[in-house]
Amino acid sequence: MEINAIESGMGLSKVFPEQSKISSSSTADGAGKFFSELVSKVNDMQVQSDKSIQGLASGENKNLHEVMIAVEKASISFQFMSQVRNKALEAYQEVMRMQV
C-alpha cells in the first residue's frame, strides 16, 4: 500500500518549502527563512487586498465579489500566520522549560 503526501490542491506546497530547499547547515536558518517567506507572502496578500479595495472605492473595479475574495484571502492568511507564530512560541517555551 502506497501513501502519497499532500502536494497539490491544498496550496500547502507554496507555504511550506520543500525539505531540499531548506539549508542543512542549521535548523534555525531554515526556520528563519520559512518565517520570513511566510510574512512576505502574507504582506503581499494584504497589499493586493488594499489595492482591490482602493480600486473598488475609486470605481476602477466594479466586481465586489472579487474584492471580497481578496480581502478574505488576506484575512485567512494573516490568521494562519498568527497561529503558526503562536505554535512556534509554545514549542519554544516548552523547550525552554525542559530540564537538562
Tens of pLDDT along the chain (100 residues) come to 566 655 555 455 555 555 555 444 567 788 889 889 999 999 999 999 999 999 999 988 888 999 999 999 999 999 999 999 999 999 999 999 998 7
Predicted local distance difference test score (pLDDT) of residue 37 = 92
Domain ranges of the chain: 30-97
Q: What per-residue string of b and e applies to 67-79 under the rule 16 or more CB within 10 Å gives b?
A: beebbeebeebee
List C-alpha distances in Å: 78 to 39, 75, 90. Answer: 9, 5, 18
Predicted local distance difference test score (pLDDT) of residue 43 = 95
Predicted local distance difference test score (pLDDT) of residue 26 = 66
Q: How far apart are alpha carbons 83 and 95 in whole angstroms?
A: 18
Q: How far apart are alpha carbons 50 and 4 in whole angstroms?
A: 38
| Secondary structure (DSSP) of 10-22 | SSHHHHS--GGGS
Half-sphere exposure of 93 (CA within 13 A, CB side): 6
